[in-house]
Amino acid sequence: MIEEKGILFVLSGPSGVGKGTVRKALFDNATDLQYSISVTTRNPREGEQDGVDYFFRQKEEVEQMIEKGKLLEWAQYVGNYYGTPREYVEETLENGKDVFLEIEVQGALQVKKNFPQGVFIFLIPPSLEELKNRIVSRGTETEDLVKNRLLAAKKEIDMMDAYDYVVVNDEVDNAVDRILSIVKSEHCKRERIAKQYKKALEE
């Protein structure tokens, strides 16, 4: 049997589209996907484990990782660094496991620049009106914040061309089914299988 490398799947989309909800439901259905563990400089919260929830590192160490290109993407939030370690992703893929990363649009574009062989999935709401309803229903945003989020969402939706697939999040279960179909189809791509067979024949 041809040994197959894993595939990096990146799920992204505008704020409020339901990325986290879809990712959680996806992992309830797909036990063979490996969630990408991020590195962070923030302190562990109660019950969090290093190497399970996050890789907890000192600020200087993460800054060195950034400098040496060891993060596929990174950002600073409330004074702490967050990022996706290249080494963890590549090792997991080499072991034949698919890696799944759920991330904001800017981070996804960083990943695409640093790891273009990934598969990029853009999650969109059925309509902008529905996106507005989802943001408002959180009950945590002021009217100005809702307007700003919607303006940001429109700009992010304009970046759709950078992605390989678009999935409409009308119902969570439907979105999960579509993503699972993408995972299956990617493993059946001629280029991927041909490359593995040629490598095996050379050996």
Q: What b/e sequence results for 172-188 when a residue is b if at least 16 CB atoms lie within 10 Å of its CB, and e otherwise?
A: eeebbebbeebbeeeee
* pLDDT at residue 45, rounded to an integer: 86
Length of the chain as a residue count = 203
- In angstroms, the CA 65 to CA 86 distance is 10
Residue whose C-alpha is closest to residue 39's, from 86, 4, 6? 86
Greatest mean pLDDT among 45-59, 110-124, 128-142, 184-198 lies in: 110-124
| pLDDT, tens only, 48-92 | 899 888 899 999 999 999 999 999 999 987 789 999 999 999 999
- In angstroms, the CA 99 to CA 37 distance is 10
Please report which residue ranges of the chain form alpha helices under DSSP H. Answer: 19-29, 59-67, 86-94, 105-114, 128-137, 143-157, 172-187, 190-202
Answer whether 125's CB lies under 8 Å from 17's CB: yes
| pLDDT, tens only, 167-200 | 999 999 999 999 999 999 999 888 888 877 777 7
All structural domains of the chain with their residue ranges: 8-36+97-202
Distance from the Cα of residue 126 to its chain's centroid:
20
Q: What percent of the chain has pLDDT over 70?
A: 97
pTM for the model? 0.85
CATH of 8-36+97-202, one of 3.40.50.1860, 3.40.50.150, 3.40.50.300, 3.40.30.10: 3.40.50.300
Answer whether 17's CB lies under 8 Å from 124's CB: yes
| pLDDT, tens only, 3-17 | 678 999 999 998 778
* pLDDT at residue 59, rounded to an integer: 95
